[in-house]
Structure 1
Amino acid sequence: MAKPSGFRTYLRSEKTPEERKLLRKVDFFILTFCCFMYFFNYLDRSNLTQAYVSGMKEDLNFKGNQLTQITTIFTCGYIVGMIPCNLALYYIKPRIFFPSMVVLWAALTMVTAAASTPHHIMAIRFFVGMAESSTFIGTHYILGSWYTESELGKRSGIFTASGLAGTMFGGFIQSGIYKSMNGLQNLAGWQWLFIIDGIITLPIAVYGFFLFPDTPSRTTAPYLSAEERALAISRVPEVPEQKPLTFAFVKRVFSSWQFYGFVVLWIIAGETESFSTNSLLALYMKANPDKKYSVYQLNNYPTGVPAVGIVSTLFWATLTDFLGGKRYLVAYWIAITGVITSAIILAPGTGIGGHFGAYYWAGSVYACQATFFAWANDALRYEEDSLRAIVIASMNLGSNAVNAWWSIVFYSANFAPKFTRGMWAMIAVSILMAIWACGLQIMQRRAARNHVHSTETVEPRDIEKEMVSDTTKV
Structure 2
Amino acid sequence: MAYYGDSKVVDVKGFDADPPDIGRAATSSDEDLADPIQAKPKRKWQSYIWDSLDKSPEERRLLFKLDAAVLTFATLGYFIKYLDQININNAFVSGMKEDLGLYKNQLNYMQTCWTVGYVIGEVPSNMILTRVRPSIWIPAMELTWTILTFSLSRCNSASSIYALRFFIGLAESSFYPGMQYVIGSWYRRDELAKRSCIFHTASAIGSMFSGYLMAGVYHLGGKGGLKGQVFWQWLFVVDGIISLPIAISGFFLLPDVPEITRAWYLTPDERAYAQKRMQLEGRADRAPYTKAKFKKIFTSWHIYALAILYTTFNNAGSGVSQPTFAQYLKDSKDPKYTISQINTYPTTTYAVQIVSTLTYAWTSDSIFRGARWPPIVFGGVVSIIAYASLAVWNIPVGWHWACYIIAGCGGGLSGLCMAWAHEICSGDNEERAIVVGTMNELAYVFQAWLPLVVWQQVEAPEYHKGFVTSACLAAAMIVTALVIRVLWKRELAKKRKVGAVA
- Give 1:335 deviation, angstroms: 2.6
Partner in structure 1 of residue 437 of structure 2: 393
Partner in structure 1 of residue 411 of structure 2: 366
Task: Within 5 Å, give how 1:233-382 maps onto structure 2.
Answer: 233-236=275-278, 237=282, 239=284, 242-244=287-289, 246-288=290-332, 290-322=334-366, 323-347=368-392, 349-381=394-426
Partner in structure 1 of residue 479 of structure 2: 435
Check if 1:210 corresponds to 2:252. yes
- Give 1:427 deviation, angstroms: 2.4
Any conservation in 1 of the 2:185–2:258 contact (CA below 8 Å)? yes
Partner in structure 2 of residue 421 of structure 1: 465
Any conservation in 2 of the 1:339–1:430 contact (CA below 8 Å)? yes
Report the secondary structure of 2:451's partner residue.
Answer: helix
Match of 2:450 among 406, 411, 415: 406
Q: Which moved further from structure 2: 449-458 or 205-214? A: 449-458
Partner in structure 2 of residue 103 of structure 1: 143
Partner in structure 1 of residue 237 of structure 2: 195
Partner in structure 1 of residue 5 of structure 2: none
Per-residue CA deviation, residues 27-55 of structure 1 (Å, 9 max, x unaligned), is 10001111111111111111111111111
Q: Which moved further from structure 2: 337-346 or 93-102? A: 337-346
- Give 1:310 deviation, angstroms: 0.5
Task: Within 5 Å, give how 1:107-126 maps onto structure 2.
Answer: 107-126=147-166
Any conservation in 2 of the 1:85–1:138 contact (CA below 8 Å)? yes
Letter in 2 for 1:136: Y
Check if 1:138 corresponds to 2:178. yes
- Give 1:90 deviation, angstroms: 2.0
Distance in 1, Cα, partners of 2:474 & 2:132: 39
Partner in structure 2 of residue 177 of structure 1: 217
Any conservation in 2 of the 1:330–1:367 contact (CA below 8 Å)? no
Check if 1:224 corresponds to 2:269. no
- Give 1:454 deviation, angstroms: 2.8
C-alpha RMSD of matched pairs (Å): 1.8
More helix by share: 1
Match of 2:193 among 153, 163, 167: 153
Partner in structure 2 of residue 32 of structure 1: 72
Distance in 2, Cα, partners of 1:339 & 1:147: 33
- Relative to 1, partners in 2 of residues 1:98 and 1:240: Cα closer, same or farther, differing over 3 Å? closer
Per-residue CA deviation, residues 236-286 of structure 1 (Å, 9 max, x unaligned), is 125375423x43232122111111110111111112111111121112222
Q: Equivalent pairs: percent with the same residue?
A: 36
- Give 1:342 deviation, angstroms: 2.1
Number of corresponding residues: 453
Stretches of structure 2 that go unaligned for 5 or more consecutive residues are 1-41
Distance in 2, Cα, partners of 1:347 & 1:441: 33
Letter in 1 for 2:409: S
Any conservation in 1 of the 2:454–2:466 contact (CA below 8 Å)? yes
Q: Which moved further from structure 2: 163-172 or 341-350? A: 341-350
- Give 1:431 deviation, angstroms: 1.9
Partner in structure 2 of residue 85 of structure 1: 125
- Give 1:5 deviation, angstroms: 8.4
Any conservation in 1 of the 2:130–2:433 contact (CA below 8 Å)? no
- Give 1:7 deviation, angstroms: 4.6
Distance in 1, Cα, partners of 2:138 & 2:103: 36
Distance in 1, Cα, partners of 2:393 & 2:259: 58
Letter in 2 for 1:344: S
Q: Which moved further from structure 2: 152-161 or 341-350? A: 341-350
Report the secondary structure of 2:258's partner residue.
Answer: coil
Distance in 1, Cα, partners of 2:221 & 2:481: 48
- Give 1:395 deviation, angstroms: 0.3
- Give 1:293 deviation, angstroms: 2.0
- Give 1:453 deviation, angstroms: 2.7
Distance in 1, Cα, partners of 2:370 & 2:193: 8
Per-residue CA deviation, residues 87-135 of structure 1 (Å, 9 max, x unaligned), is 1112221111111011100000000011111111011000100111111
Distance in 1, Cα, partners of 2:465 & 2:158: 26
Per-residue CA deviation, residues 379-435 of structure 1 (Å, 9 max, x unaligned), is 112x21100000000001111111111111111222111111122212222222222
Any conservation in 2 of the 1:83–1:390 contact (CA below 8 Å)? yes
Partner in structure 2 of residue 464 of structure 1: none
Distance in 2, Cα, partners of 1:169 & 1:92: 33
Distance in 1, Cα, partners of 2:340 & 2:164: 27
Letter in 2 for 1:220: R
Distance in 2, Cα, partners of 1:414 & 1:289: 18
Any conservation in 2 of the 1:345–1:354 contact (CA below 8 Å)? no
Distance in 2, Cα, partners of 1:124 & 1:204: 21
Partner in structure 1 of residue 35 of structure 2: none
Letter in 1 for 2:265: Y
- Relative to 1, partners in 2 of residues 1:357 and 1:220: Cα closer, same or farther, differing over 3 Å? same
Stretches of structure 1 that go unaligned for 5 or more consecutive residues are 459-474
Partner in structure 2 of residue 451 of structure 1: 495
Letter in 2 for 1:184: K
Distance in 2, Cα, partners of 1:291 & 1:388: 51
Partner in structure 2 of residue 166 of structure 1: 206
Letter in 1 for 2:365: D
Distance in 2, Cα, partners of 1:9 & 1:134: 33
Distance in 2, Cα, partners of 1:242 & 1:313: 33
- Relative to 1, partners in 2 of residues 1:181 and 1:393: Cα closer, same or farther, differing over 3 Å? same
- Give 1:451 deviation, angstroms: 2.2
In the superposition, the TM-score normalised over structure 1's length comes to: 0.92
Per-residue CA deviation, residues 55-104 of structure 1 (Å, 9 max, x unaligned), is 11111111211101110111111000101111111222111111101110
Any conservation in 1 of the 2:100–2:158 contact (CA below 8 Å)? yes
- Relative to 1, partners in 2 of residues 1:211 and 1:339: Cα closer, same or farther, differing over 3 Å? closer
